[in-house]
């Protein structure tokens, strides 16, 4: 944001009257401007859409979408839940919530797929396969993702530790022995968890291989990790959209599972016997009986 402010401040005297109106609005209401089209922003400040487009180029961006992206990179980590709710209410018609949200999630998966780095993905799979211990960090809304990953990796790997405590001291206490040969995989999305970032920095200093699952290269998690997997989650909502990150986790589990097919097969053979013995799952006959009653 400082870079954008510097640009606007430095060039402000040379702006036309209309461009100054745009700059003033962005500086005062960047949380709103980030989610406005060029036409909407122009209408808001009283200038034409073409003036907004030219303004973005004048400031140094390759068109308005680039300027908007710069704004979104800032606000996604700064908006409070109340501000997100306010922005969301201006973006979604209450009568089209289902279609809008599902379409938004579909778009995130599509963009995640288009931007995915298969070489990095494969390298992360190999790191997880070779790890002596795997620590998975995820708090708040990311705790659900960490729990899902931890559940399945526990069936595949010998030593998996799920760290999703809300206590800062407990998080450090649980990863204090992470060292070379271990993998620490942290998950966090805007608004980023400071304690997850700090814990990953600590693990990196200890010599562990640190992996991030986050939304972009600007994420503080990516900056302290050896490898980063990026999955989109940029909907401005008080509810975090975790569809694309979950899909990425699913891909990780499947890739690792295929590498350890024999081990997993034996594990599930044993588990099936245990599930049957302790009646963990309903039998198909039970449902059939219900249908016949």
The structural domains of the chain, with segments of one domain joined by +, span 2-75, 115-259, 262-293
Name the band, by pLDDT with cuts 50, 70 and 90, for residue 291. very low
- Asked whether residue 290 carries a pLDDT value surpassing 50, the answer given is no
Among residues of the chain, what percentage have pLDDT more than 90? 50
- The CATH class of the 2-75 domain is mainly alpha
Name the band, by pLDDT with cuts 50, 70 and 90, for residue 167. confident
Average pLDDT over residues 186-213: 93
The segment with the largest mean pLDDT, out of 62-76, 123-137, 150-164, is 123-137
Give the pLDDT of residue 275: 84
Question: Please, what is the average pLDDT of the chain?
Answer: 85
The dotted CATH code for 115-259 is 3.40.50.10490
- Among 15-19, 26-30, 178-182, 251-255, name the one with the lowest average pLDDT: 26-30
**CA 270 to each of CA 155, 185, 265: distance values in angstroms, whole numbers, following the listed order:** 11, 28, 9
Name the band, by pLDDT with cuts 50, 70 and 90, for residue 74. low
Give the pLDDT of residue 284: 61
- Using CB atoms within 10 Å of the CB of residue 267, give its burial: 0 to 12 exposed, 13 to 18 middle, 19+ buried: middle
Same fold, 2-75 and 115-259: no
Name the band, by pLDDT with cuts 50, 70 and 90, for residue 93. low
Average pLDDT over residues 198-221: 93
Name the band, by pLDDT with cuts 50, 70 and 90, for residue 276. confident
Find out whether 71 and 30 touch, Cβ atoms under 8 Å.
yes
- Asked whether residue 161 carries a pLDDT value surpassing 80, the answer given is yes
- Among 76-80, 128-132, 166-170, name the one with the lowest average pLDDT: 76-80
- Residue predicted with more confidence, 84 or 228: 228
């Amino acid at each position: 944001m400082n870079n954008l402010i510097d640009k606007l401040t430095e060039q402000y005297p040379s702006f036309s009257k209309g461009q100054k109106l745009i700059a003033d609005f962005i500086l005062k209401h960047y949380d709103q401007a980030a989610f406005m089209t060029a036409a909407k922003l122009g209408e808001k400040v009283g200038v034409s859409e073409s003036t907004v487009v030219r303004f973005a180029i004048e400031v140094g961006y390759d068109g308005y979408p680039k300027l908007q992206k710069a704004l979104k990179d800032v606000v996604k980590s700064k908006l409070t839940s109340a501000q997100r709710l306010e922005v969301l209410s201006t973006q979604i018609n209450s009568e089209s919530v289902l279609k809008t949200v599902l379409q938004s999630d579909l778009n995130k998966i599509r963009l995640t797929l288009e931007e995915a780095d298969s070489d990095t993905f494969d390298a992360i799979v190999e790191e997880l396969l070779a790890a002596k211990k795997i620590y998975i960090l995820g708090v708040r809304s990311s705790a659900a993702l960490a729990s899902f990953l931890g559940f399945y990796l526990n069936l595949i790997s010998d030593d998996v530790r799920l760290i999703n405590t809300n206590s800062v001291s407990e998080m450090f206490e649980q990863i204090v022995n992470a060292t070379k040969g271990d993998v620490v995989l942290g998950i966090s999305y805007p608004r980023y968890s400071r304690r997850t970032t700090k814990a990953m920095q600590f693990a990196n200093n200890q010599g562990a291989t640190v992996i991030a699952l986050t939304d972009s290269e600007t994420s503080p998690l990516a900056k302290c990790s050896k490898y980063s997997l990026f999955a989109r989650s940029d909907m401005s909502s008080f509810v975090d959209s975790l569809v694309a990150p979950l899909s990425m986790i699913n891909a990780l589990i499947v890739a690792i599972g295929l590498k350890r097919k024999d081990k997993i097969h034996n594990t599930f053979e044993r588990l099936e016997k245990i599930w049957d013995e302790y009646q963990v799952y309903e039998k198909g006959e039970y449902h059939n009986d219900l249908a016949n009653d």
